[in-house]
Structure 1
Amino acid sequence: MGYTIVELPEQHLIGLAQTGLLNDDPACGAKIGAVWQKFNTPGTTDAIPDVVAEPYACFGAYYDYDLATNGYTMLVGCASTAASAPEGMARTTIPAGRYAKFSIQGDCTTTVGQAWLDIWNDEELLAKRAFTVDFEAYLPGEDMANASIDIYLALK
């Protein structure tokens, strides 16, 4: 799977977070799916202040990596210029820096899941990762079966 190297400015995300995720946990996919399902509940995005909707409508971010346990935190949300998150939500920062950008097209669940499997199995890429904040960025659109998605991996 090919990628390009890009420089990104710092940006902030506000949304719903799930801590304590472990890739080796058989329920990990279901836990991530539950966060997305809750995020897609009517009114959730309306509760996020000062949303920046361009170029991406929403994000799935992975951060607070614990490489000893393969654990991390995941946040599903929107870019926002607000200084803090409303009660019940979390805020995280995507640091400025170099990222590997993968552009994919397809189903939001299966295509993204397969892309992450390919990324995790790429040992050369693994050696370049910074493990700060990695994220999926979803372009606006209603067709979740054929979405345009960019995946960004923080690089050392």
Structure 2
Amino acid sequence: MTAPIQELTESQTCTGISVRTTNSAEISHETAKLGKLWQKFYQTHMSNIPEGEDIYGIYHNYESDDLVGAFDVVAGWKVDSEQPQSDSGANTKNSTLVSVDIPAGKYMVFAEHGNMPNTVMNAWEKAWTYFNDPSCEHTRTYHVDFERYVEGKLEYGQVELYIGIE
């Protein structure tokens, strides 16, 4: 299986809420943080994001790789990098907003369509299978990866998983 490669020619800035987790923590319902992050994001920020706007899940600050080590995840939306955070239109009640840059560069894109969160899980499974194959032609950077929820659909729709590559 080969996924298309896309070159981002400009960096993108996103603002949102963040957690730090590990893949091993996400296996157990008791220690998983991502579902709670997205629930809080949906309850606190979705009503302030224009309809049809893409939503992003940005993975960064990798401690190592996908098997061990922690990483940060930001559930957020794209903003003008010159726009002050306070003008982003988001309700910051009970949330501390953070900004993260998605750098320009090469990304392998794994797209899926269907019911969330299964669609996202399927995209990640395809990416892990591809990159863990001994004959894999590409190397992950573990710098920044991101999910793009097309038109802000977090329940049913299309997700594009962008994995940074060298």
Please state which band the TM-score falls in when normalised by the shorter chain.
0.7 to 0.9
Report what 1:62 is aligned to: 59
Give aligned-pair identity as a percent: 26
**Deviation digits for residues 60-103 of structure 1, max 9, x if unmatched?**
11000011743100000000113547671111000001111122
Q: Which amino acid aligns with 2:63?
A: D
Q: Is the 8 A contact 1:45 1:78 kept in 2?
A: no
Q: CA shift at 1:128, angstroms?
A: 1.1
Distance 1:34 1:102, change over 3 A: same
**Deviation digits for residues 31-63 of structure 1, max 9, x if unmatched?**
10111101111x524667xx8x87x52011100
Select 1:95's aligned residue among 82, 89, 103: 103
Q: Give runs of aligned pairs for residues 72-151 of structure 1, distance below 5 A.
A: 72-81=71-80, 82-84=83-85, 88-122=96-130, 123-124=132-133, 125=136, 128-140=139-151, 144-145=155-156, 147-151=157-161
Q: Which amino acid aligns with 2:158?
A: S
Q: Is the 8 A contact 1:120 1:126 kept in 2?
A: no
User: Which of the pair is proportionally richer in strand?
Assistant: 1
Q: Which amino acid aligns with 2:165?
A: L
Structure 2: how far apart are the matches of 1:116 and 1:141? 19
Q: Give runs of aligned pairs for residues 34-49 of structure 1, distance below 5 A.
A: 34-41=36-43, 43-45=44-46
Larger Rg: 2
Q: Which runs of 5+ in 1 are unaligned?
A: none
Give me the CA root mean square deviation: 2.8
Q: Which runs of 5+ in 2 are unaligned?
A: 87-91
Structure 2: how far apart are the matches of 1:34 and 1:24? 16
Structure 1: how far apart are the matches of 2:56 and 2:139? 22
Could you state the TM-score of these two structures normalised by the residue count of structure 2? 0.76
Q: Is the 8 A contact 2:15 2:78 kept in 1?
A: yes
Number of corresponding residues? 149
